[in-house]
Each structure stands twice: as C-alpha cells, then as structure tokens.
Amino acid sequence: MSRQPISTNAAPAAIGPYSQAVRSGDTVYLSGQIALDPATGLIVEGDVAAQARRAFTNLKAVCAAAGGSLDDVVRVGLFLVDMDHFAAVNAVMGEYFEAPYPARSTVQVSALPRGGLFEVDAVMVLR
C-alpha cells in the first residue's frame, strides 16, 4: 500500500526526518505534536495547559490537512515530562474531544524536544 505524506503550514514543520502525518489507505498516522507555534517555531509560553492547547491545536490542523478532524481520531498517545500534569492535560483534552473518546495511552518521559512539557500523537481513520 502506498504512503501519502501530509503537511500543512497551519502546524509546525517537522524538526527532523519525518512527515507531519502519513496516510496509508483510510488510516492517517499523525506524528507527535509539541507546543510549537507554527508562526515562530518556538514553544509557546505558559504552563502545561497552555502547551497542551497548542499541541492539540497543531494536531487538529494536521487532521484537517489530511481531510479529517479530531472526530476521526481513534487513538492518541500522550507524553508528559511530569505525571503531576495528568489532570491538567486531561482537562485540556476534554476541550478538544467529545464522546466517544479515542483510545489513549499516557506515559511519562524524561524529556521532550525543545524543552516541551507535553506531546501528543494520534491515529485517525477516515470514513
């Protein structure tokens, strides 16, 4: 099956040798999004909630570029540098997703690119 790269200027450009997303058939694999402002390439200022909002907004933009929306996301992976931020990120995720919610994993990591506090990746299935 072929791979179709997805990209948009509404989300930060990849900071390495990867695509913002790749579509294969009806499935879109979305690369991790951190709190980079696509206009400046810098991490947004603020707490983990502010960073999570920017990361989810970036994810939403890549979903749209692929022809879908957050409603089409079937799985998300959350990466936190501090598990004490779990409740704050949960609250922000609730601002972006509605029931039925996607499947999810949440892991604590030792560090994220550019000193970020939060990262999200996802899998989307287009109908």
Q: What is the pLDDT of residues 19-63, one digit of tens each?
A: 999 999 999 999 999 999 999 999 999 999 999 999 999 999 999
Tallying the residues shown for the chain, one arrives at 127
Per-residue pLDDT for 1 more than 80? no
Instruction: Check residue 102 and give its pLDDT.
Output: 98
* Structural domain boundaries, residue 91: 4-125
- Cβ neighbours of residue 52 under 8 Å, at least 6 residues apart? 35, 88, 89, 92, 93, 118, 120
**Total tally of structural domains belonging to the chain:** 1
**b (16+ CB within 10 A) / e for 109-119:** eeebeeebbbb
Per-residue pLDDT for 127 more than 90? no
Domain CATH for 23: 3.30.1330.40
Q: Residue 105: phi, psi to the nearest 5?
A: -125, 150
Number of Cβ within 10 Å of residue 74's Cβ equals 12
